[in-house]
Amino acid sequence: MTELSPRDPTPLLPIDWAYAAAPESREIVTIAERYGLFIGGEWVEPRAGASFTTCSPRDEEPLAEIAQAGAADVAAAVDAARAAFPGWSGLAGSERAKYLFRIARLLQERAREFAVLESLNGGKPIKESRDVDLPLAAAHFFYHAGWADKLEYAFPNRSPRPLGVVGQIIPWNFPLLMLAWKLAPALAAGNTAVLKPAETTPLTALAFCELLLQAELPAGVVNIITGDGATGAALVEAAVDKIAFTGSTEVGKEIQRRLAGSGTRLTLELGGKAANIVFDDAALDQAVEGIVNGIYFNQGHVCCAGSRLLVQESIAEAAVEKLKQRMASLRVGDPLDKNTDVGAINSRAQLTKIEQLVAAGSAEGADIYQPPCRLPEKGYWFAPTVFTNVAQSHRIAREEIFGPVLAVLTFRTPQEAVEKANNTPYGLSAGVWTEKGSRILWMAERLRAGVVWANTFNRFDPASPFGGYKESGFGREGGRHGLEPYLAFESA
């Protein structure tokens, strides 16, 4: 009988399944050493000559010098927008639509360039910039281009007309997408605009100025000014017809105080402390993916992030265990690496805030879990974090952290889930996970949130209005509801 030879101990497949680095090339992006202000279709220097440096949060690398607009520069931008308003609003809606379509197509053509710039300047993973931000930004221009010549049908018997010059202030978490959310409906309605991006993430807005020149948009229709909070304050107090602001609740309240009684229209999209509610009949693996997407997407830098997990007591232990297992597979690292799940925190100031609130959570008695992961030595980084044994009174359950930090609470009945979910000054979004359609509708009717997702989270569409209640602001963006704040109406 033939003897069998010993089995070769060499494995046929590799044992190490670690991801190899897959960085996106920076060569596609050209960043100027210095940027001015885009006013009246031209690049101009700030009157006072002031500037600041914008950096990459992944390694604190200086990227460019950015102009700091003063009150005189803001006034010049508003004057340019005012001068362009008669010509732009006088165009037929179908002609305005052509420009919006052109902008949308150019965004698609230059999507890779804008995605790299967004991740480089903001810190979010390239796969999110590439697969979420850029497609949605283009989609908003496509969608509103379709409404530009149909406003009479969108608002029948109301005789819609543009407001005039709108001032728009956008945050640092979704720079290009928030630009599209603001500019697309304003331009479709026939308004002209002065837009200020966040001081930490101005580069995609400045690259967008080049795209506007490429699209041959008439001069002065869109003016983009850069600067810090003082620039935003000057825009709020300028001679504009409407202010649209997305940012923190504290700043939103200050803007509302300043505009009270002025006649200037205002819409605010502010902070949130969303509840992601998981019932015992939910598909648990699917729900865990939704929980991860809800809080760790864009490092938790999302106003509607599901930062509170409310899970039914009977499945709480199993849900938390599955969540921890999933968190262990998240890859934290270079935002330009296509394998990265969690990128860099946007700024030193935001990282400090996250660290302070996490320390408060531990001090108040909650149990912290962070998966083992090696954080880069340079830049601003924070590991994905989950707290269990959290009480409603804890700061991590009440305050917006705006980082990759999840607080887990439990409930027994749907009534208790609603009570806990609504026990917050915010009301921007919520999620419900259950197999029962009737329960979804029952919960959605009672949750005081502007958006309620069912068996999913962080899903957006240009045709769907987005906005909140209470201290999450007022007004909507997206859909016909988002067009309405940019129009004045007369009875037919």
Domain containing 69 — which CATH number? Answer: 3.40.605.10
Domain containing 282 — which CATH number? Answer: 3.40.309.10
What interhelical angle do 134-147 and 93-109 show, nearest 10?
170
* pLDDT at position 180: 98
* pLDDT at position 413: 98
d(CA 195, CA 20): 40
Instruction: Give a yes or no: residue 22 inside a domain.
Output: no
Same domain for 80 and 219, yes or no, is yes
Query: What dihedral angle (degrees, nearest 10) is formed by the CA atoms of 180, 185, 188, 191?
Result: -100
Instruction: Give a yes or no: residue 156 inside a domain.
Output: yes
Q: Which residues are catalytic?
A: 269, 303
What interhelical angle do 93-109 and 111-122 show, nearest 10?
70
Instruction: Give a yes or no: residue 19 inside a domain.
Output: no
128: domain range? 34-269+472-489
Same domain for 362 and 433, yes or no, is yes
Q: Where does residue 417 fall: left (phi above 0), alpha (psi -120 to 50 degrees), or beta otherwise?
A: alpha
Same domain for 477 and 407, yes or no, is no
Same domain for 288 and 257, yes or no, is no
Same domain for 97 and 246, yes or no, is yes
* pLDDT at position 14: 58
Same domain for 304 and 448, yes or no, is yes
* pLDDT at position 287: 98
Q: What is the pTM of this model?
A: 0.94
Query: Which amino acid, residue 435?
Result: E
* pLDDT at position 23: 87
Domain total in the chain: 2
Same domain for 231 and 298, yes or no, is no
Same domain for 264 and 137, yes or no, is yes
d(CA 67, CA 53): 9
Summarised one tens digit per residue, pLDDT across range 262-284 is: 999 999 999 999 999 999 999 99
Same domain for 335 and 304, yes or no, is yes
Q: What is the mean pLDDT of each run of 10 residues along the chain (492 residues)?
A: 55 66 91 97 97 97 98 98 98 98 98 98 97 98 98 95 98 98 98 98 98 98 98 98 97 97 97 98 98 97 97 98 97 96 98 98 98 94 98 97 98 98 98 98 98 97 96 96 96 58
* pLDDT at position 3: 57
Same domain for 142 and 291, yes or no, is no
What stretches of 126-172 adopt beta strand conformation (E)? 160-162, 165-169
d(CA 228, CA 316): 44
* pLDDT at position 20: 84
Same domain for 196 and 305, yes or no, is no
* pLDDT at position 19: 78
Instruction: Give a yes or no: residue 142 inside a domain.
Output: yes
Sheet of 165-169: strand order equals 42-44, 37-39, 222-224, 192-196, 165-169, 242-246, 265-269, 473-474
Same domain for 243 and 301, yes or no, is no
* pLDDT at position 7: 59
Instruction: Give a yes or no: residue 296 inside a domain.
Output: yes
Continuous segment of H or E residues that includes residue 439 = helix 437-446
* pLDDT at position 16: 65
